[in-house]
Amino acid sequence: MVNGIVLPIKKVFSLVDSKVTVEIKDDQRKLQGRLVAVDEYLNIHMEDTTEYINNARGRTLGTVVIRGNNILSIQPNI
């Protein structure tokens, strides 16, 4: 029995109410903001979101909902 494995969904749930960067499947586009909610399909709800395209700051989006199958990566901001 392996006790040291952390499922990805549990790791993402632990990031709720923190700042994250989400890379989506759209031409090197990243979104930075506060993760508000996640569901079992990894659909996410973010607030205070800013768009970055090719590491250049883009639009301020505010509140966004991203479908889980469009997400490449989710990482906490340090």
User: Where residue 24 sits, what CATH number does that domain have?
Assistant: 2.30.30.100
**pTM, to two decimals:** 0.85
| Residue that the structure tokens 């979101």 belong to | 49
Using one digit for the tens of pLDDT, what is the confidence trace for 31-50?
Answer: 999 999 999 999 999 999 99
Angstrom CA distances, 45 to 1, 8, 50, 53, 72, stand at 34, 17, 13, 20, 16
10: part of which helix (H) or strand (E)? helix 8-14
Q: How many domains does the chain have?
A: 1
How much is the pLDDT for 5? 72
Structural domain includes residue 50: yes
Domain that holds residue 12: 8-76
Structural domain includes residue 1: no
Using one digit for the tens of pLDDT, what is the confidence trace for 13-35?
Answer: 999 999 999 999 987 899 999 99
Structural domain includes residue 35: yes
Structural domain includes residue 67: yes
